Amino acid sequence: MPDARKPTEEELQRLTRRAVAEIVPEAELIPALKAGKHLRIKMGFDPTVPKITLGWAVGLRKLRQFQDLGHTIVVIVGDWTARIGDPSGKSETRSMLSEQTVRENSEAILRQFFKILDPERTEIHRQTEWFNDFSLTDVVRLTARFTVAQLLERDDFAKRFAGQEPIGVHELLYPLLQGYDSVAIESDVEFGGTDQKFNILVGRELQRDMGLKCGPTGNGQAVLLVPLIVGLDGYKKMSQSLGNFIAIDEEAAEMYGKLMSVPDHVLPSYF
């Protein structure tokens, strides 16, 4: 794979500062970008509903900037974990989805990705490519790499545990399965919202634990977190599950009306 184009200093600042909440570890990713090292950059989506929101577009627009430098973008459609339900950022369990609903949502979402990404420079993978062949032995071996104490360090799990609220055993599997995606596609960088930091770091640890030389320096994937956009209610994050979102393929008049209803205090973050 040829090297990527080295960004100018102005481009580097735009890549790593604008609409970026955190890079972990920054000391690995920045030098790799300056050197023009080609990177496989991953971003995953659970097809909860058949819509891409403006919240998703924050990460997709950032991916396009990396894509234009020559890096490979790898989009993971979470058609397997969507059947489990990830409670990130919520205090309750997300409902499981049927296989048919997940398939229909996935097809609709894929049609919307390329409003932002260049299809010629994008890999699309579905989790079922590797998880459909997972045996119970594979699952047990995967879970043996982490302890319950480690998983309860995730903020939303910790809060629910402290509040004596239920946590399904299947939910504890979610970070491990998302992390295994990074093993399967050997990603060098993973993008996500700030609520996904724990899950993405699990992917970095799994890559290292399994002996993969992924990442900007071969020490596992780097993490690039983008800020979460607040939804139309002005308080909770924009979310398909919560229904407080603006879809990128809505009619212009509908999108305009929704944007006009956004409370004034969230406008700086939207800009």
Q: Is the dihedral of CA 233, 168, 157, 270 positive or negative?
A: negative
Query: What pLDDT is attached to residue 100?
Result: 85
Taking the C-alpha atoms of residue 182 and residue 201, their distance in angstroms, rounded to an integer, is 10
Which parts of the chain register pLDDT below 70?
84-96
Pull the structure tokens for residue 53: 């929101």
Which single residue is written with the structure tokens 């894929």?
A: 110
Own/partner pairs for 241-248, CB < 8 Å, 24+ apart?
A: 241/48, 241/49, 241/90, 241/94, 245/51, 245/53, 245/54, 245/55, 246/53, 246/54, 247/51, 247/52, 247/53, 247/54, 248/52, 248/53, 248/54, 248/56, 248/57, 248/112, 248/115, 248/116
At 4 the three-state DSSP class reads coil
Residues 6+ apart with CB under 8 A from 259: 246
Residue 91 is predicted with a pLDDT of 46
Residue 71 confidence (pLDDT): 96
**Tokens coding 89:** 């950022």
SS3 247: strand
Closest to 131 in 3D by CA, of 193, 170, 79: 79
Query: Strand 40-45 relative to strand 189-193: parallel, antiparallel, unpaired?
Result: parallel
Reported as a single tens digit per residue, the pLDDT across 79-109 is 888 776 655 545 444 566 778 888 888 888 8
Q: What is the pLDDT of residue 81?
A: 80
Q: Check: CB of residue 224 under 8 Å from CB of residue 60.
A: no
